[in-house]
Each structure stands twice: as C-alpha cells, then as structure tokens.
Amino acid sequence: MRIDILTLFPEVFDFFNHSILGKAKEKNLLEINAVNIRDYSLNKHKKVDDYPYGGGAGMVMAPQPTIDAIKAVKKNNPGKVIFLGPRGKTFNQEEGKRLAKEENLIFLCGHYEGIDERIYNYIDEEISLGDFVLTGGESAAIPIIDAIVRLVPGILKNEESYKDDSFYNGLLEYPQYTRPIDYEGDKVPDVLISGHHENIRKWRRLQSLLITKERRKDLFDEVELTKEDKKLLKEHYSVHKAQCIVHSEKEDFSCDEN
C-alpha cells in the first residue's frame, strides 16, 4: 500500500518509521510519504493561508498551494484524496477495513480555520475522527492511518492479531494475561492455562460478550448473536444466578443481579 500525506508539518509523521509499521516499510510492504504543502506555494514567503472573505477569526488554507500539491502527488499516486475534517463520516473499524483494501490513498491534513471551499473539488471523501476539535489534521491522520494499514495483509505477522481486536467483529476484546500466573494473589483464570483450546475459545468469546454488554451496550445491541453466543450467555447467567442465591444466604448482598 502507498499512502501520501499532504501536510504543513511533515516531521510529525516520523511516527510511522518505528515499531511494526517501520518494519513494514523496510520490507516494502508499505510506503508512507509526508508531503509538505508549503513546497508548492508560489508565495515568496511560502505562505499557504490567508484571511477569510467576509471577515471572521483565524486564517484559511489557500487553494493554490493545496491544489497544486494534490495534483503533484496524483501523478504518482492514483488513490482517493481523503480530507480529515469535521464534515466527514466518523471513522470506525468498518471504515478501516474498507480503506485497507485500497492500494493507494492520499490524506489531506487541514489546519487553521479550515480549507478554501474550492479545494473540495479535488477531494473524494472526508473523514472525521470524532465530534471534537483538534489543532490540525495531523493529529487525526496518525490514528486513522495506523488503524488502516495494520489491516493490510502481511503488515502483522499473524492475521488473528487484528481479527481478535476490539471492534473488528463488533465486540470489545477479551481479557489478556501473561506471566506470572499468580501476581500478588491475583491469578490467571484456570481455563487459560488448561491447554484446552476449545474451552479457551469459548471463554474468550463469552468474555468479549460480557465486557461489551457491560461497557458498550450500544455495540452489544448491534451484534447478531449466534446460537453458541446465546448458549454461552445462558449458561453464564444460570451459574451467576445460583451464585447470587448462595451469596444471599451468606448475607452477601454485593451480587449483581444483571
């Protein structure tokens, strides 16, 4: 995959030269280029913004350097131009999976009070990181690009690494443990050290369901439960209810009835 990022601060994207994505770049599985929009300004001071017509606070990114930068990158990258701005659809895992199928992408990072409206003629789609304001599109570009490229085949050593991620299948991820087995009396669940792979799989699925139901009910309500899911939940709550009765007899009223 090739990604070009049009930005006023290319040094920010040194982030992608490290860790897993840095290794992917070394193996030529991924190409990420940070392109400085200022390099395309015809202004002798390399100015890229100006005051808005009609008045108002702040500055607006000018069309000439931004559009010329897009045109220049398009000569070698035929991908979609994605603007990181507030009008766009909020980014999520499904959007990440969709964009990970592209071979080429171009991201435009906005700044100041926004971009000249005429620049939209050269933009294919707009994506927002969320309903809040950042100082620049660079802050949004890093997590969005990171989320996309890790889904590209070959970037991660094991495809299961992202298939078990939170949100990939609509659920939050199950709990994870590593050594030691016992840390200050807090032990790893027996099932995870049993060596019984099917029981481990079922436990992890149940935990994902329970955690999502507890912490992100909105996500849980959208999940289409399988027959196995319903059985796991039914068995869990049957045991849980029995435990509640035992606790009540012992005058332990901390049991959660849910």
Instruction: Say if residue 60 carries a ligand binding annotation.
Output: no
Instruction: Say if residue 131 carries a ligand binding annotation.
Output: yes
Catalytic residue flag (residue 198): no
Instruction: Say if residue 134 carries a ligand binding annotation.
Output: yes
The total of other beta-carbon atoms located within 10 Å of residue 22's CB is 15
Instruction: Say if residue 83 carries a ligand binding annotation.
Output: no
Out of 4, 49, 138, 165, pick the active-site residue: 165
Catalytic residue flag (residue 38): no
Out of 50, 68, 102, 113, pick the active-site residue: 113
Catalytic residue flag (residue 224): no
Instruction: Say if residue 107 carries a ligand binding annotation.
Output: no
Out of 38, 52, 68, 86, pick the active-site residue: 86
Instruction: Say if residue 55 carries a ligand binding annotation.
Output: no
Out of 10, 49, 138, 150, pick the active-site residue: 150
Catalytic residue flag (residue 150): yes
Instruction: Say if residue 182 carries a ligand binding annotation.
Output: no
Binding-site residues for S-adenosyl-L-methionine, in ranges, read: 110, 129-134
Per the annotation, where are the binding residues? 110, 129-134
**Catalytic positions:** 86, 113, 150, 165
